[in-house]
Amino acid sequence: MKNIRCKDYETLSKKVANSIIKQITLKPNSVLGLATGSTPIGTYQALIEAYQKGKVDFSQVTVFNLDEYYPISKDNPQSYHHFMMQHFFQHININKDNCYIPNGQAKNIEKECRLYDEAIKQSGGIDLQLLGIGTNGHIGFNEPGRLLHMNTHLTSLKASTIEDNARFFDKIDSVPTKAITMGIGSIMKAKKILLLVSGQKKADIYKKLFEKQLSTDIPVSLLQLHLDVTVMVDQEAYSSEVISDTIVG
């Protein structure tokens, strides 16, 4: 894994945005895997600014988002559909028909998950996957546990995830307890992965990422098996205890 240390969140966000712009410049019809949460917001802002300056064209890009709460409607302000529209899609020239997010109101969940995986396959697969990381090591909503899932599936959120995400809701009881998420297999099939780690509260899990052990209790540790992962970490989350080749960005 390549490890790029950035002096702050703003630098990290700009660098991640630049990597995405480079990807789209090289392949205008790129397929991007995107994340929600607070970490990628700066990246989306930097991409919107680049778009407004004419530096990137999203017209041929396809997006698959990692996850969506369940059950939730698309226009609920807490849904990831709403998040993506508000923070990114409505500000750029992406074709909304090419923006895929699991349907948080699907009646037939198994079918929804199967069709989601098929759509990823039909698109030619994800060229560049953006990931955040949970304080418990989850990626997407692949939570720590004895078993991990290969494909898109319905999952129950861990108490720690519900607590972490409560900051976006009026009260903890309002946080959905389930989500539809891409599986570890879908993530690992991405050609390139950019993992974003920002802030003091991610410092512990960042260290674990480089412990050279694989465990389903730390789902992010499986990324060590992927051949093209770049970890972008800001100073607050960085630890000098980590033994890895680090580029200062």
Question: CB of 230: closest distance to ligand F6R in angstroms?
Answer: 16
Q: Which of 68, 112, 143, 164 is catalytic?
A: 143
Question: CB of 232: closest distance to ligand F6R in angstroms?
Answer: 13
Q: Which of 68, 81, 138, 164 is catalytic?
A: 138
Q: Which of 3, 65, 67, 81 is catalytic?
A: 67
Nearest-CA neighbor of 97 among 52, 140, 60?
Answer: 60
Measured CA to CA, the distance from residue 140 to residue 133 in angstroms comes to 8
Question: CB of 54: closest distance to ligand F6R in angstroms?
Answer: 29
Question: CB of 188: closest distance to ligand F6R in angstroms?
Answer: 15
Toward ligand F6R, which CB reaches closer, 35 or 50? 35
Toward ligand F6R, which CB reaches closer, 53 or 167? 167
Give the up-direction half-sphere exposure of residue 3: CA atoms within 13 A in the CB hemisphere.
17
Toward ligand F6R, which CB reaches closer, 104 or 140? 140
Tell me whether residue 165 is one of the annotated catalytic residues. Answer: no
Tell me whether residue 67 is one of the annotated catalytic residues. Answer: yes
Positions in the binding site for ligand F6R (CB under 6 A): 35-39, 66-67, 132-134, 138-141
Tell me whether residue 110 is one of the annotated catalytic residues. Answer: no
Q: Which of 3, 65, 103, 136 is catalytic?
A: 136
Catalytic residues: 67, 136, 138, 143
